[in-house]
Structure formats: C-alpha cells, structure tokens
Amino acid sequence: MREVIDIPAELAAAQEKYNKEAGRAFIAALPDLTTAFLNRWRLRVTGAPMHGVSALVLPVTRADGTHAVLKLQIRDHESEGEPIALRLWNGDGAVRLLDHDEPTGTMLLERLDASRMLSHQDDTHEAVLVIARLLAHLHTTPAPADMRRLGDITRAMLERTPAALARIPDPAARRLVADCAAAVREVADEPGDRLLHWDLHFDNVLAADRAPWLAIDPKPLAGDPAFDLWPALNNRFDPADITWRFDAMTDVLALDRTRARAWTYGRLLQNCLWETEDGRPLDEADLETARRLRGRTT
C-alpha cells in the first residue's frame, strides 16, 4: 500500500541549501522510502508530517497500537551515530529507539509530546538547568570505540585555523578567534571519552509521560562534556546572561571552568571555520559569547 505523504517545502529547501545534489536525491526518494518503511514496519500515519533541517518525522501507530514516530534522514557522519547513542542510553534521559535500518539511517522512535518542548518554557534559567541536568545524566555513558571522536575533530579544526584566520578581515575578531584556537590547543591532548549529544538545544528536549524531559536528535561523538555546553549558552541569546549560564552549567556538571571555557571556545572555533569556509561573516553572538567568557576560570 502506498500512502501519499506531503514533503514539507521547508525541508526540501534546507536539503537543497545544505546538501545540494545529495539533498535533492534524498527528497526525490523520500516518498518511496517512506512507503517502504510504513509497509515494512506495519505502520499507519496518524498525524501531520514534522521536520527539522535534515529529517522528515511522521507520527505513526504500530500494528499493536503503540504510538511512535518514523524518522527519515540522510545518513551522514553526524546522523550515523544517532541510533548507536540512543541504543546505549536505552531511554534513560533520551528518547527510546524502537527499530532501526542501518543502510538508510531510518529510525522508529517512541513518540514524545511535541507540543511540550523545552523551548516553550518561559523561564530561561530553568530551561538551561534542565539541559545541564540531562547532560550530566547522559555523560555518565562512555562512548563506544567506533564513535566519531572529538580528538579527531579538534586536530582537523586546528589544521584549518590558519587559513580561516587569513579570511577574517576585522583584526579584533581575528585575534579573538586566534585566542580561542590557542585555548583549544591547551586541552587538545585530552579530548575526553564520554558519549556527547553535541546538539542539545531547547527544541531538542521534549516532555513525555514517563519522564519530565527527554533528549532527542543527538549528533553524538566521544569527548569532553564541556563540548556540550554551547547550545544552552546560545539559545535565546542574551549577552548579560552568558556568564550565569556558564557558571550554572559547570556547577551542575562539576566541570573545571578553565577546561570548560577552552572546550566552549572549541565550539566557537568550529562555528567560525564553517562560516569563513562558506564565505559568510562571523556570527556576532558567537564572538560576544567568547568575549564574555574571558576570565571565567573560577
């Protein structure tokens, strides 16, 4: 049986923008791919399609009446570790994986309450603390040996840094990015081995009947827990609130603040490399975060 699925135009546009030919091929194949997994896993669509930048998510019901979601996405270096991480967390602090097709990266996940995202929480400080508590829980899991590793990412970033610095026209911004790279070099030899989420922002935390909040959509890697702070520092960006958030999160996670600042600078460096290599100006919020974190060592 073939069920007609409307592919959101915003998803198609995002795939065109970020994945070019591969994105167009993914969108073109999506109707048939969706039908194949609905039939294979005996699913019935029971709600409107949802999407982010890279995935189509369909509310479905299994043959036994269990509510779930079908997630279809391009399998790449970021998404390929998602089912591995979810299987290791096994529903403890994160959405539960019900089934998985490795060749395509398609997943069947438990259905959470999409109407109750952490981003709907009016109290930003409480939202930041929710993120910190979830991360403290998720980071108790060691990463498997074959997970992509922060150490490898860091070495590649530092190799690309000189060329990126040459493309930054503003001397003050260039010095700031160079300082971030220098801080990262200080900790690069100890990149850590915890299972990181990497993308735990407010929209990636949903409520459920079985838990107040659960993490979704990890882009996992093995590394230092401090590399996971950035999204909660950046969400609802408020320059005056950066140091409170940093101090609160490092307290909850029991992190050394010197190392935490260095690995947070690593996220800034990563963002700056992406921007400069794609010919875009540096993000002022990223730069201001780095400025505000200067001196946060105690």
Measured between alpha carbons, how far is 68 from 287 in angstroms, rounded to an integer? 40
Which tokens is 281 given? 């100006």
Concerning whether 6 is annotated as a catalytic residue, the answer is no
Of 99, 101, 193, 199, which is the active-site residue? 199
Place of tokens 């790449």: 76
130 within 8 A of 248, measured Cβ to Cβ: no
φ and ψ of 115, to 5 deg: -85, -10
Contact 95, 117 (CB under 8 A): no
- Residues present in the chain in total: 298
- What SS3 class is residue 148? coil
Provide CB contacts within 8 A for 227, sequence distance 6+: 150, 192, 196, 198, 221, 263, 264, 266, 267
Query: CA 220 from chain center: how many Å?
Result: 8
Return the half-sphere exposure (C-beta side, CA atoms, 13 A cut-off) of residue 96.
Answer: 14
Helix (H) or strand (E) holding 133: helix 124-138
CA 142 to chain centre: 18
Which residues are known to be catalytic? 199
